[in-house]
Structure 1
Amino acid sequence: MALPTKRTSAAWFDDGHIRLIEQDVPELRPGSIAVDVRASSVSPGSELSANRDQREVKGGWRSLAEQGRSPQAGSEPGRARGYSNAGIVIAVGEGVTRFQPGDRVACIGGGYAVHTDTAIVPHNLAVHLPEQLTYVQGSYGLLMGTAMQALRRADLKFGESYAVVGLGIVGLLTAQLHMLAGNRVIGWDTVPFRTEIARKLGIDAVVTVGPEDPVERTREFTDGYGLDGGAIAFGGEASKAVQSLVQCMKRAPDHHVMGTIVVVGLAEFTYSDHEAAGVTNIDIRSAMRTGAGYHDEAWEFGAGYPPVFMRWTTTTNLELCMRLAAEGKLDMDTLITHRIPFADVDEGITQALEDPDSMLGVVFTQDG
């Protein structure tokens, strides 16, 4: 397949609708690959936020259930969005040796792995897609990598207890990865649909916040020892969730709380002076990347870091995620609730937004 000069992309507009637009295919620069895109994943937390703000939506979006991320740089109305897709390599730029035309790949990167039929992606933001995985499964590379980096930032030891607050895509992936790493996991969310998905995935314990008290349930879950760590896996106002999580953390003999809280995305929370005195021994860490190298253009298009010094980069994190999914250890299919043909993106999103609390993973597919 020859590299086309034009492509069709999905663009977001001020009226909250998505339209297909024609664009020039970006230059195939050295260190990049051209991909015939077969599927691209959509984030309800970041990409659809404009749509639900600008349309009259039935049902309420609950921030605890959402994985919020910052708006993509340069994503003004009318510009193609997206950051995670999968497809077939159709051409490689100068210096690329890891791929050749015909390879199946999973790709990530805001501004690169967009919702389109032809993407130009830095070679270090792409990995081979195992034959056991579909393009739909492979299109979730970025959120897989985000969850993997959240696991690494937590730095827990085998057998320790962990809470994931917010059971959107990233939260559910984070919970699965912690269980694979030998941790005991309890998940919290306000939306019954998402807590039911967590139960189907076999998460050790699940709390539907509201009908159930997360603090009481979590203390029972840890047999009174308290949590070793937790993740805030949603965006927006999170003060109440963080305060509840702190109440569940392990305590020293002097009653100071200990442990690690990883913030995945752009959660916001505040503490009064009195409250802050009680959390000074908690290590609060951000995890908004997929691993070392992401957003380092010299690395994305150039040589990788020496693995002897930097074992886990964005590339190696993505490779591991794909292998775990291919081996059936990381469940993607249960998380995907909507498959929308690319030609019908606006109609499909409109229908999905009619019942936002039952929307989790959304994928645009080129094959219909």
Structure 2
Amino acid sequence: MSRRKVGCIDGKGRGVCLEEDRPDPGAGQVRVAVQASLISPGTELGRVKKQRERVRDDSPAVDSPPRPFGYANAGIVEAVGEGVETFRVGDRLACMGGGYALHTDCACVPQNLCAALPDSVDFETGAFAHLAATAVHAIRRAQPQFGENGMVMGLGLVGNLSSQFGQLSGCHMMGVDRLPLRLELAACTGTEAVVDGSSMDPVTEAELFAGGYGMDFGVIAFGGDGTKAFEQIAASLKRAPDTHRMGRVVIVGGAQITHGFAAALGNVDVRSAARTGPGYHDEAYEHGAGYPPVFVEWPTQRNLSECLRAIAASRLQVAPLITHRFPLEQVGEAVDLLVETPERALGVILEPS
């Protein structure tokens, strides 16, 4: 049996490239010759820093076996499993899904976690489809209206894309982060105002940005303790004459928040945005079952396709977010870059040789 290369995270939090048997596609799956994969710094590497800290503390947990990682790639179909009718050998696809769309040179992915690449979209930009679908689902949860004011806390990949989708919805978007690179990339991809959270007060800047109207919604797009960011969004939302704040807060990152509700918060809707829309993690859907479109208008695969259409039309800007490229075999260097010096990198592409 032929072999494939797979990027893994070992028990010490290091990226390593290993070999294993090349898989065959199961029913409802396609096997893709991967041409590019995108590392998601937050979700994929969130635990790596803690793993590295345990190494320094001589914890016995560092002996855990390497685990494959990755969930966003793009490539060319080289085989199809039973029941796959939409895609054929030779098709160019964007693929997603934890445990499926790995950092590898060969991936077996359920058919409904794939979408055809438009002719003008290359593999590198196509690999952004998963995170773009995550962002568009978050913005759908915010229910933006043309002309509204929105703010995004955290301008990593999902935060940047969320701000872009807010702008595409006709909203005025303000982005907040502490890293100059992320602020620069948000500005060059269309966010109207960027705020350095390390030296500026987001609440004051939001008041100026919204011109006295107040913010209509906010998005928290990072992991860890999000209480301060939540409080800053809440304090920036529009305020009724009875002093109660009104608006929507969407949490798309893995943030934890501690806050009072009812009178302590006002009439604020707090909403969670789970992944990429309906269907992801429904095994039947992933492998080919459909949801009635009259009831489920925006399932995962449709979100993927719409994001790719936006990229093809140059309405969604993802190429500027690519800061580094590494051969798959150098996955360790890519992980080190993102974990140890996050101020230097954002979109990191792995390319199989």
> Common fold, TM-score beyond 0.5?
yes
Q: Is the 8 A contact 1:37 1:87 kept in 2?
A: yes
Q: Secondary structure at the match of 2:44?
A: coil
Separation in structure 1 between the aligned mates of residue 151 and residue 34 of structure 2, nearest angstrom: 36
Q: Which amino acid is the alignment partner of residue 286 of structure 1? A: S
CA offsets per residue over residues 17-64 of structure 1, 9 Å max, x none? 1222222333421111010011111111122234433448xxxxxxxx
Q: Closer, same or farther in 2 for the Cα pair 1:146/1:34, shift >3 Å?
A: same
Q: Closer, same or farther in 2 for the Cα pair 1:125/1:283, shift >3 Å?
A: same
Q: Is the 8 A contact 2:337 2:345 kept in 1?
A: no
- Structure 2 residue corresponding to 1:333, chosen from 300, 319, 324: 319
Q: Which amino acid is the alignment partner of residue 6 of structure 1? A: R
Q: Closer, same or farther in 2 for the Cα pair 1:11/1:210, shift >3 Å?
A: closer
- Structure 2 residue corresponding to 1:364, chosen from 326, 340, 350: 350
- Structure 1 residue corresponding to 2:149, chosen from 154, 158, 161: 161
Q: Secondary structure at the match of 2:320?
A: helix
In structure 1, the gaps of 5 or more residues are: 57-75
Alignment map for 1:92-241 (pairs within 5 Å): 92-241=80-229
Separation in structure 2 between the aligned mates of residue 33 and residue 42 of structure 1, nearest angstrom: 21
In structure 2, the gaps of 5 or more residues are: 54-63
Confirm whether residue 291 of structure 1 aligns to residue 288 of structure 2.
Answer: no
Q: Which amino acid is the alignment partner of residue 125 of structure 1? A: L
Q: Secondary structure at the match of 1:271?
A: coil
Confirm whether residue 9 of structure 1 aligns to residue 16 of structure 2.
Answer: no
- Structure 2 residue corresponding to 1:21, chosen from 14, 18, 24: 18
Alignment map for 1:314-353 (pairs within 5 Å): 314-351=300-337, 353=339
Provide the identity percentage: 47
Range moving further from structure 2, 41-50 or 331-340: 41-50
Higher helix share: 2
Separation in structure 2 between the aligned mates of residue 160 and residue 352 of structure 1, nearest angstrom: 34
Size of the aligned set, in residue pairs, is 343
Separation in structure 1 between the aligned mates of residue 182 and residue 51 of structure 2, nearest angstrom: 25
Q: Is the 8 A contact 2:41 2:338 kept in 1?
A: no
Normalised by the size of structure 2, how large is the TM-score? Answer: 0.93
Range moving further from structure 2, 292-301 or 205-214: 205-214
Confirm whether residue 89 of structure 1 aligns to residue 69 of structure 2.
Answer: no
Q: Secondary structure at the match of 1:120?
A: strand
CA offsets per residue over residues 215-237 of structure 1, 9 Å max, x none? 11100111111111000011100
Q: Secondary structure at the match of 2:239?
A: coil
Range moving further from structure 2, 147-156 or 307-316: 307-316
Range moving further from structure 2, 187-196 or 224-233: 187-196
Q: Displacement, 1:130?
A: 1.2
Q: Displacement, 1:307?
A: 2.1
Separation in structure 2 between the aligned mates of residue 356 and residue 52 of structure 1, nearest angstrom: 12
Separation in structure 2 between the aligned mates of residue 352 and residue 44 of structure 1, nearest angstrom: 7
Q: Secondary structure at the match of 2:43?
A: coil
What does residue 56 of structure 2 align with?
Answer: none
What does residue 72 of structure 1 align with?
Answer: none
Q: Is the 8 A contact 2:17 2:330 kept in 1?
A: no
Q: Displacement, 1:288?
A: 2.3
CA RMSD of aligned residues (A): 1.7
Separation in structure 1 between the aligned mates of residue 299 and residue 334 of structure 2, nearest angstrom: 35
Separation in structure 1 between the aligned mates of residue 146 and residue 22 of structure 2, nearest angstrom: 47
Q: Secondary structure at the match of 1:362?
A: strand
